[in-house]
Chains A and B, each alone.
Chain A
């Protein structure tokens, strides 16, 4: 089985270097050392702050400049994407491969050519074993066969020279289970590496109604997709206490100018198209106006038409709903235009400035224009005395509601190696089930002469590759079944009561 590198170098000094490297790679010691390294570096990666998740400011606050330079240079600030960590994983894979190849031929021989006839040295060493006196060879063999049958085994007769022996086994596949486990781990690694090389992850931010095919990648670059995605609407539902219950987006895929797929996605339920997956990731106000609703009432104190004009009719306030850039008629002569919208404004020297793109204190700029006089009046919500006097306009405008537009944030990922990972996981589950819960059990029975007394006995032995204490109980059941079968030699049909007794 495992040969340590030391014994190789002493027993065969002329063995090639390649052979030595191979032996080292296949040894359990190397495997354990590599696993310890993986554990140590992975643990370090959870303790040391990692880029790019941590802001550069926080990094600088946490570590001194020298320490940070050192950590950056060694890749300790991004352990899981460092080349040496990947290298370590590749080494672990190679070690698993080497160890499996080194041990496989032995196991395969064991598996493909089961050991059926127990020779004397094997009989001496095996545990558990037992001898039962028998009147003649055939009776003993038949009893063993019946007992094994009653335990649910299919015994076969093995011929060696002039001797017969009985051999029965179950779950031989268990011997190969560990290779299934190792192969599945390799498959998972393989899928993971494929994803690392060919996969990509990014983010798309879409306003309601917007279409885009550009993905912002994590490293700051962008990646065009061969198709576009459109967000028709997005929203949030809350629990009674105000915590979010659900975020949803209605998405459509546009390929070659046509809608080819549409789906309402929620967290935990992505849209998949051409193996690119779109996940609901964030949601919020996009700082754009969906609708401003206001009422306009003719201004009684306004006197633009000059003296002699009919006094303004005390008209009903007019309801207007529009968005930035739109113009609405107030009457035949007067219009109102939604000129500007600030998400966060500041006033300095009679001028309005944009303070930030975040939603802070919003302001709307409207312009009321009279065609006849050609005069324009600025109106601001909220009223800004230093900038314009709202009451000078021919209409008194009053805001009723401001509906803001929303954006939906989508995580986008393309992971071509996924199939490997999931197949590997399923295989791993199956393999582990076989490793731990499926036991390879073998029984042998052979009539021999007792060395001391010279009496004819049936030698019965058994072997299991794991869970030996439970197996020994089973072995005892077999022995008592054979005993019972042998005792009433004269009885006619002994197999049925035995089967009942065994059960």
Chain B
């Protein structure tokens, strides 16, 4: 979906309506495709159709918000806001449908939690826009929502009845609080980003950091997974039992997807280019090299998206040979959560950097001034922190009812506590040490990073009792 957003970037908007027409046509085309699908299946308001509609409109809104960032045409924001409303409506329908089908609120699996998270995020975006007049907040929150909905497509799960441990009122209390808290954290992150845009900070340091971050991602992929003759090894996946394939106890079977390794290597070189140009610009004191470096970031995003698309296509379909065993084996995106997360994270990081570049007077005009943004960020965290506290308390109480202990140091609990400590640190630095502005904004961004790790990272990377989500 990010593809939609970025492809429209280089097109110079001749009139204020160009992008709206483009996005409108795009939405119409996708809706037409969806319509064909509806005719085929004969079911208009199925959950997947509603979710697909939500995705289309969120993507349209994201494209318009980003388009506004490039061109500064105000009518885009209005259209984007409208698209967000429609997307939210479809999202609400999807939630209602899921709730009705399952007979319980959609809180029981990662898929269902994401559904609620994206919904809350869209609601908060609209609130921030209407109440606090942070009109372009969607530039950050909509891509997050899009990533959420795309992940949901990958995670598609059937409706499962609640296992005994989840049959508790505390489930609903706990998860509602979690969704509210996490969405508030996402909002504070978006506001902190807006603050950085408004605060006229130096972008070069971010150029280097973004480049180093993406280099780290691709370097670790290439170093660990690059095979002879340009293949990429991935863990084989047994789709029947939904688990990794083991050769023997503890030894996983790797399959090699041909040529994908070369693509990763190429991506590594391209994402390294901005850093090299940055280093050159610093040593030669040549500012024009920085402009080239910025363009290189843009090119690297296109390549990264292509890499992700190739990875998605090839890993989710087809069978591949293995170096360790005869025959062909399938793999799955579920078998490579690290790589998938890395690729998506790299694109996201680069997009955020591009966002910082759009420091235009008309964009600044549509944002409250830096001080106000700083204060709203703080206010949002003042809302998120008590919610986080209550979420942890409700979870502890529920754990005490179910497992006989209020605190088990299970990874999810531990990371929830770490999130709490990070925000507690933010509040202390701000209140007692008077941290304002940039330092506080970095802290808010860090806090959201920890939230995301607690939400996704712990679920997929660290095992524990908290297996439902």
Contacts and interface: CB of A to CB of B under 8 A. Distances in A.
Contacts of A411: 403-404
Interface in B413-443: 414-415, 417-418, 421-422, 424-425, 428-429, 432-433
Interface string A239-267: 10101111100000000000000000011
A91 to B, nearest CB: 14
Nearest to A414: B404
A243 B160 contact: yes
Range of interface residues on B (Cβ < 8 Å): 35 or more
Contact of B165 (A35, A61, A239, A268): A268
Given A2-B432, A46-B462, A201 B164 contact: no
Interface string B388-421: 0110010011101111111101010011011001
A45 B414 contact: yes
Contact of A268 (B386, B401, B405, B415): B401
Contact of A432 (B386, B397, B404, B429): B386
A31 B414 contact: no
A269 B250 CA distance: 37
A1 B417 CA distance: 28
A270 B424 contact: no
Contacts of A277: 404
Nearest to B432: A28
Contacts of B422: 39
A498 B250 CA distance: 78
A310 B398 CA distance: 72
B418 A433 contact: no
A363 interface: no
Interface in A412-427: 412-413, 415, 418, 421-422, 425
A429 B388 CA distance: 11
A239 B424 contact: no
A80 B415 CA distance: 13
Contact of B386 (A38, A192, A425, A436): A436
B421 A38 contact: yes
Contact of A428 (B389, B409, B414, B462): B389
Contacts of A79: 409
Contacts, number: 106
Given A28-B433, A241-B161, A246-B164, A270 B389 contact: no
A45 B409 contact: yes
Contacts of B167: 246, 267-268
Interface SS of chain B: helix
Contacts of A436: 382-383, 385-386
Given A2-B432, A267-B164, A413 B414 contact: no
Contact of A28 (B418, B428, B458): B428
A188 to B, nearest CB: 10
B414 A42 contact: yes
Nearest to A278: B404
Interface string B144-170: 000000000000000011011101100
B389 A432 contact: yes
B375 interface: yes
Contacts of A46: 411, 414-415, 458, 462
A247 B164 CA distance: 7
Nearest to A47: B462
A164 B246 CA distance: 86
Contact of A425 (B383, B396, B398, B409): B396
B163 A244 contact: yes
Interface in A267-294: 267-270, 277, 279-281
A159 interface: no
Contacts of A47: 462
Contacts of A266: 164
Given A43-B418, A46-B411, A46-B414, A429 B386 contact: yes
A433 B387 CA distance: 10
A46 B428 CA distance: 26
A433 to B, nearest CB: 7
A219 interface: no
Contacts of B385: 432, 436
A58 interface: yes
A80 to B, nearest CB: 4
B404 A270 contact: yes
B168 A268 contact: yes
A283 to B, nearest CB: 10
A32 interface: yes
B390 to A, nearest CB: 6
B164 A244 contact: yes
Interface string A401-419: 0000000000111010010
Contacts of B398: 268
A502 to B, nearest CB: 23
Given A279-B404, A413-B404, A35 B421 contact: yes
A469 interface: yes
Contacts of B386: 429, 432-433, 436
Given A43-B418, A46-B411, A243-B163, A429 B390 contact: yes
Interface of A: 1-2, 28, 31-32, 35, 38-39, 42-43, 45-47, 50, 58, 61, 79-80, 192, 201, 239, 241, 243-247, 266-270, 277, 279-281, 411-413, 415, 418, 421-422, 425, 428-429, 432-433, 436, 467, 469
Identify the 5 closest CB pairs spanning chains A and B, nearest first. Answer: A267-B164, A46-B411, A80-B409, A411-B404, A413-B404
Given A32-B428, A46-B415, A46-B462, 13 more contacts: A28-B428, A31-B428, A42-B417, A43-B415, A46-B414, A245-B161, A246-B167, A267-B165, A267-B402, A279-B404, A413-B404, A418-B400, A428-B389
20 contacts: A28-B432, A32-B428, A39-B418, A42-B418, A45-B414, A46-B462, A61-B249, A79-B409, A201-B404, A243-B163, A247-B164, A268-B164, A268-B165, A268-B398, A281-B404, A412-B404, A415-B405, A428-B389, A429-B390, A432-B389
